[in-house]
Amino acid sequence: MKQGSEVSGNPHAWDLAEFFVLRGFRRHGIGTRIAMDVWRKLPGLWEVRVMQKNDPACQFWRHAVSGFAGNSASCSHFEKNGERWILFSFDTTRPLSAGIPAIG
C-alpha cells in the first residue's frame, strides 16, 4: 500500500495493490477484518486493484469493499500491459456502513 495512485494518478489516493492471506486463514473473515482495520486507520480516498482473471481475489475484494463502503464504492475496469484489472474506489472520510468490527 502506498499513497499515490498508479491508475487514476491521484497523488492523495491510497493505492492497495498487494494483499495476501495465507491459505489456512482464508474464509474465516480475517483478511476482511484486516483490510477494514487499515481503511479505518488511514482515512481518505482508496483504490484497490485486482487482476480480473483472479476470480477468488475479485470475490474477496467485492465482498470486503462493499461490506465496508456500501454503495459509496465504485467499480471500474481497465487494462494495463495486456492484463485486465478491476478497480474498486471509495472514500473512507464519508459516512460508512457498519461492516465487520475492527480488530482489537
Structural domains in the chain, CATH included, are: 2-91 (3.40.630.30)
Instruction: Report residue 85's pLDDT band, with 50, 70 and 90 as the boundaries.
Output: very high
pLDDT at 75: 94
pLDDT at 102: 43
User: Which whole number is the average pLDDT over 36-48?
Assistant: 94
Q: Is the pLDDT of residue 94 over 70?
A: no
User: Which whole number is the average pLDDT over 20-35?
Assistant: 91
> What is the rounded distance in angstroms from the CA atom of residue 63 to the CA atom of residue 58?
9
User: Which whole number is the average pLDDT over 15-39?
Assistant: 90
* Pick from 53, 48, 45: nearest CA to 92: 45
Taking CA atoms, 33 is separated from 47, 85, 96, 103, in Å, by 17, 23, 15, 6
